[in-house]
Copies of this chain bind each other. A is one copy, B any other.
């Protein structure tokens, strides 16, 4: 996906009209897109190779990004994502705006459960995590802020999918989808039934068949128009889980966040 973006903006596709300007913007953005969780520090050569932009152009573009603060450069010459980007990104209404309202409620859930508490929003056919609180003792998981989780195979995803517009649901249900982490296909009919339950109960209880089985208990968060705008979940080892007991705590937190966002209270 990231390689494609890089290639799209690369010299072959765009070289014929350098004066038009916007392709340059695409190329600068494609430099940002090559960083990921496993590649937080990149040399100029790596930036060039991963983005498909020739070294000389990559250097010029990276210099502009460094001057602005979107990238930072270490003494050894390697580049990383800069703090200035965090400043701007923190203004995203669906990110930190929501997060600021949700955080006190999430802190309460975390201090009671001492496990992971996650906050996510739907972004097309996947969910983006905008917050994660984790106790010291919580089971290590790979979920990270800004990262994606599948709609069909997480508690947060089930909530966001169950309350997504019909066309989004149909689009996802029309594709072959596999369960994580064991990669077994999910029958569309089974997923439909699960989503109907989520809508009825305003609650998702999702079990992950990991080496150490995990349970996610998730509930919908509504915005001022009473539409579902986010989901909050607690993720914990199955051996420690009493999902039904946790459900009320998660739903109460979701209700509190929804109320502060301007939603009409829903009877739980």
Contact = CB atoms under 8 A, between A and B. Distances in A.
B61 A22 contact: yes
A92 B85 contact: yes
Given A93-B80, A97-B40, A86 B22 contact: no
Given A81-B91, A89-B89, A91-B146, A21 B18 contact: yes
Interface stretch (A23-31, A155-163, A190-198): A23-31
A121 B83 CA distance: 9
A96 interface: yes
A227 interface: no
Contacts of A121: 83
Interface in A120-145: 121, 123, 128, 130, 133-136, 144-145
A31 to B, nearest CB: 10
A88 B85 contact: yes
A144 B103 CA distance: 12
B33 A93 contact: no
B93 A41 contact: yes
A134 B103 contact: yes
Given A29-B65, A86-B92, A87-B146, 5 more contacts: A21-B24, A29-B64, A81-B88, A83-B128, A86-B128
Contact of A86 (B18, B107, B130, B135): B130
A41 B93 CA distance: 9
As for how many copies of this chain the complex holds, the number is 2
Interface of A: 18-19, 21-22, 24-26, 28-29, 32-33, 35-37, 40-41, 57, 60-61, 63-65, 68, 70, 72, 80-83, 85-97, 99-100, 103-104, 107-108, 110-111, 121, 123, 128, 130, 133-136, 144-148
A21 B146 contact: no
A25 B22 contact: no
Nearest to A33: B88
A213 to B, nearest CB: 23
B25 A87 contact: no
A70 to B, nearest CB: 7
A61 B29 CA distance: 12
